[in-house]
Structure 1
Amino acid sequence: MYGLFQTTKVLLCCLLVMWHGVEGMNTSAILDNILDGYDVRLRPDNSGAPVNVRIGIYVESMESVRESTMDFSVTMYLRMFWQDTRLSFHANEGIVFKGDAIDNLWVPDVFFLFEKKASVHSVTQPNRLLRVQSDGSITYSARVSATLACNMQLQQFPMDSQKCTIIMSSYAYSTADVILFLDEQSVEIEKGLTISKFSLTNWTYENVDLAYLLGNYSSPRCHFFFQRQMESYLLTVYIPTVLLVSIAWLSFWIDAKAAPARVALGITTVLTVTTMTAGIQETLPVVTYAKAIDVWLAVCLLFVFFSLLEYGMANYLLVKQTSQVKDYNDVELQTKEQMETEDLRKSSRSVDTKPQKRCGRHTWTAHRLDCYARWAYPVTFVIFNIFYWIYYNH
């Protein structure tokens, strides 16, 4: 009995090996049959209706959206679906082509408009495959990384939102030969996708034909909408500049006679804001319009410069006031030496009242100028903030 069991087991193994061998021979025969006389230079149904190619995009990651170079980088699976009856055969399962074997078949010559750099991944093997079904339906997939141009509008930077687009087209075939299109199931996004400095809020698609000198070409496009994350700019730009403006405001509470303290405070705040502005401008492209952050930094620079300018005016009034008091004291000393009668003493007392009259309510002094600046400065800055945030957030 044991010998019979062993003999049956050996026969089954032999039959299985023979079956796989026949299956492999059948697949090779099918490949030889469908590729016999196949002309890779001709599109399917070369003299008939145009080939409909459905495009699919699966976004694996988006590395960055850069304002300095106005582009964005994306790694995606580019998929194409079309029909080629020349490759139909009789079998239950499809045939997979990969690597250089795909070059033996006709594939749509899709390229990316406004592409700066792109490549098909090749580790550990070229990341391409083509699957042919028995009815001639073809599925093509390639893992592609591309850096594409993105025309950004930065008037509201860093409270802006941007739209970047992937535009595809056929290089050689017009709509008379190949029609590329997207549908509702064409675009997929990796769950949990994160982008530096941005968040992906939405994506849409549209099918457009572009008219060139050689004819009309299908140009399906996928639009991605990004919203910039403000947290980093609040922590590194807006809050520090508010603190610098507040420090400059403190100089109005320092006595105008303390020249070293007020001058050092004013110059330090001006230089800090200037350095911060220069550092931010290095990371942004040169544009012909003012960005929201430019307006903010410029106004903050004006405020801290005004605090330094105000001290210059206060120091001038202080020197002028000191000079007037000295002149009045000299006059008083002279009158006391020359006036011996009571009438002359009365006239000297009338002279004493002159400086008090000149330094009355309507006379500008360093202390009065500081008092006005203490209230006008923060009120004006608060009003500017209200208009700034309402305007740019709207």
Structure 2
Amino acid sequence: APVVCVCTYCIETDGPAIVRINLFVRSIMTISDIKMEYSVQLTFREQWTDERLKFDDIQGRLKYLTLTEANRVWMPDLFFSNEKEGHFHNIIMPNVYIRIFPNGSVLYSIRISLTLACPMNLKLYPLDRQICSLRMASYGWTTNDLVFLWKEGDPVQVVKNLHLPRFTLEKFLTDYCNSKTNTGEYSCLKVDLLFKREFSYYLIQIYIPCCMLVIVSWVSFWLDQGAVPARVSLGVTTLLTMATQTSGINASLPPVSYTKAIDVWTGVCLTFVFGALLEFALVNYASRSGLNKANRAADIHKENLKKKRRDLEQASLDAASDLLDTDSNATFAMKPLVRHPGDPMALEKLRQCEVHMQPPKRPNCCKTWLSKFPTRQCSRSKRIDVISRITFPLVFALFNLVYWSTYLFREEEDETF
């Protein structure tokens, strides 16, 4: 039979000492995403049998003995393997007791507060579920000497109406986690707590504000393309607000090497806001380039009109001169005038001649006035705004459809725990 050394001497046993564990979760204070840890307060109980502690119950009149000094008896060397911090409670009296029953059974109960490591996978954040474990193992005794078992029936109890600020405790699962090292195999117990993140908080604080910022950035599509200060101010303000929102979200999370669901959302929203600002830059460029082309076209049109006017005047003068050079017996509906090249009044006299010619067409003043406005180019820049009014909402709606269907479906897959 194996020999187990307890206290200061050794005794022979028929096998390893069996210690049964029971937990009562009183409260879960915090679950930190940044530090990847959670704090829990619980009542820890373990029960085993020590044959040396048997005593006479005086014909059933003595139920058990209570000890106030735990170091007076042998105790299992249990420790919490994923513990970061922990302490006992001593207000008003130490919250610990040891009961020894007549058959040698020992019950040890203590209230403790623990801060435990909880490695998290944040790929689906904030649509995620997290599994936080509580691991208990033997520090020095191998399974040949000491074995931990869960108490039959209900080994883990949770206080009723347990409320967490951002999580919901869906369920828990008890299991064994024995570990093998080069010194032997050690008994280990664990309880896995499944926490579901409350999405309503993030819907109100993150998703809806981001949607509103994206929609506000689309208001610039309905503003006049000449309202440069208004459209630039709107675009820059929404872009900075979206960037600040993204920075605030990342500040509440640990830096990880993978992309989270919230990163996809904020990244796409930031892209839409930035795209609205770039759209105005494109509209402004198209408007200005069109205006320059229209101005050049108007100048060319004016020069052509002036040239036509000069050509018509010259044609009138040439026609009058040709009529004067014809046969003197011909009948004219005007007084014959002698053209003297040096006479300054010759041109004025020629204009008074009753030459029967088709008068030149006067330019259309309305068309000349409308030609000053770059209607074609304005329609091109306006067309960009009209297309953006339709394209941006449709693409954003398509993104929402893909985003929610993808991540909600993956969230349902996690429910198989």
Is TM > 0.5 for Structure 1 vs Structure 2? Answer: yes
Q: Which residue of 2 aligns with 1:338?
A: 307
- My pick for the range that moved more, 330-339 or 155-164, is 330-339
2:397 paired with 1:382: yes
Q: 2:253 aligns with which of 258, 265, 284?
A: 284
Letter in 1 for 2:114: A
Shift of 1:95: 3.6
State how far apart, in whole Å, the 2-side matches of 1:255 and 1:207 are.
69
**Which secondary structure does the structure 1 equivalent of 2:265 belong to?**
helix
Q: Which residue of 1 aligns with 2:336?
A: none
Shift of 1:48: 3.2
**Which secondary structure does the structure 1 equivalent of 2:90 belong to?**
coil
Residues 125 and 359 of structure 1: is their aligned pair in 2 closer, same or farther, counting only changes over 3 Å? same
State how far apart, in whole Å, the 1-side matches of 2:361 and 2:171 are.
89
Q: Which residue of 2 aligns with 1:213?
A: 182
Q: Point out where structure 2 has 5 or more consecutive residues left out of the alignment.
A: 313-357, 410-417
User: For residues 187-246 of structure 1, what are the alpha-carbon distances to aligned partners after superposition, in whole Å with 9 as ceiling and x for unaligned?
Assistant: 001000111200000101112321012110111110100000011111111111100000
User: For residues 3-60 of structure 1, what are the alpha-carbon distances to aligned partners after superposition, in whole Å with 9 as ceiling and x for unaligned?
Assistant: xxxxxxxxxxxxxxxxxxxxxxxxxxxxxxxxxxx962458x5443111111000000
Q: Which residue of 1 aligns with 2:29?
A: 63
Where does 1:17-36 land on structure 2 (aligned, <5 Å)? none
How many aligned residue pairs are there?
350
- My pick for the range that moved more, 301-310 or 205-214, is 205-214
Indicate if the aligned counterparts of 1:74 and 1:146 stay in contact, CA closer than 8 A: yes
**What percent of counterpart residues are identical?**
33
User: For residues 295-329 of structure 1, what are the alpha-carbon distances to aligned partners after superposition, in whole Å with 9 as ceiling and x for unaligned?
Assistant: 11111000000000000010000001111111121
Residues 94 and 348 of structure 1: is their aligned pair in 2 closer, same or farther, counting only changes over 3 Å? same
Letter in 1 for 2:229: P
2:278 paired with 1:309: yes
State how far apart, in whole Å, the 2-side matches of 1:263 and 1:80 are.
69
**Which secondary structure does the structure 1 equivalent of 2:48 belong to?**
strand
Indicate if the aligned counterparts of 1:179 and 1:218 stay in contact, CA closer than 8 A: yes
Q: 2:49 aligns with which of 83, 86, 98?
A: 83
Higher-Rg structure is 2
State how far apart, in whole Å, the 2-side matches of 1:125 and 1:64 are.
26
Residues 238 and 42 of structure 1: is their aligned pair in 2 closer, same or farther, counting only changes over 3 Å? farther
Where does 1:135-154 land on structure 2 (aligned, <5 Å)? 135-154=103-122
Shift of 1:369: 0.5
**Which secondary structure does the structure 2 equivalent of 1:176 belong to?**
coil
TM-score, length of structure 2 as denominator length = 0.79
User: For residues 345-387 of structure 1, what are the alpha-carbon distances to aligned partners after superposition, in whole Å with 9 as ceiling and x for unaligned?
Assistant: 79999x98xx89x9769x9721010010000000000000111
State how far apart, in whole Å, the 1-side matches of 2:39 and 2:385 are.
54
Q: Which residue of 2 aligns with 1:255?
A: 224
2:160 paired with 1:191: yes
Q: Which residue of 2 aligns with 1:328?
A: 297
Q: Which residue of 2 aligns with 1:226?
A: 195
- My pick for the range that moved more, 112-121 or 89-98, is 89-98
State how far apart, in whole Å, the 1-side matches of 2:376 and 2:281 are.
22
2:99 paired with 1:131: yes
2:237 paired with 1:268: yes
Indicate if the aligned counterparts of 1:170 and 1:217 stay in contact, CA closer than 8 A: yes
Letter in 2 for 1:87: L
Q: Which residue of 2 aligns with 1:372?
A: 387
**Which secondary structure does the structure 2 equivalent of 1:220 belong to?**
strand
TM-score, length of structure 1 as denominator length = 0.84
Aligned Cα RMSD in Å? 2.5
State how far apart, in whole Å, the 1-side matches of 2:244 and 2:154 are.
50
2:184 paired with 1:169: no
Residues 42 and 75 of structure 1: is their aligned pair in 2 closer, same or farther, counting only changes over 3 Å? farther
Larger % of helix: which? 1
2:147 paired with 1:179: yes
**Which secondary structure does the structure 2 equivalent of 1:247 belong to?**
helix
**Which secondary structure does the structure 2 equivalent of 1:166 belong to?**
strand
